């Protein structure tokens, strides 16, 4: 996360224990109390050491294929990518 800017002082904030704080003083001599807490990080998905079921592996392969094919195509192509993943999954399921 890049350091935010204090809306009162228009200065880049400094990292601290609980996020970011403004290092500027107010006109009365007290420190600015504006703080920004960082957003919690999303936990990465893990399989916890278990092998995927054969259906899951086919689904992952189908989605990976469609994602690689449509990479950079934009969000308007999302439905087409999902449709391709479904057709790929069905075709691979038929030959296993």
Tens digit of pLDDT for each residue in 5-47? 999 999 999 998 888 999 999 999 999 999 998 777 666 666 5
Q: What is the pLDDT of residue 26?
A: 92
Tell me the pTM. Answer: 0.41
How far, CA to CA in Å, does 93 sit from each of 34, 52, 61, 63? 57, 15, 11, 14
Q: What angle do CA 96, 92, 66 make, to 5 degrees?
A: 155
Task: Give the residue carrying structure tokens 């890049």.
Answer: 2
How does pLDDT run across 51-85, given as a tens digit for each residue?
A: 555 667 888 888 888 888 877 777 777 788 888 88
Cross-strand partners of 31? 25
pLDDT attached to residue 32:
93
CA-closest candidate to residue 36, choices 54, 12, 67: 12
């Amino acid at each position: 996360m890049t350091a935010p800017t204090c809306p009162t002082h228009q200065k880049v904030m400094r990292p601290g224990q609980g996020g970011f704080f403004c290092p500027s003083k107010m006109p009365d001599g007290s420190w600015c109390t504006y703080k920004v807490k960082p957003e919690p990080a999303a936990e990465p998905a893990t399989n916890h050491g278990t092998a995927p079921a054969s259906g899951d592996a086919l689904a992952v392969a189908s989605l990976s294929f469609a994602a690689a094919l449509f990479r950079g195509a934009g969000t308007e192509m999302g439905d087409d990518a999902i449709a391709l993943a479904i057709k790929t999954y069905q075709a691979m399921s038929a030959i296993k």
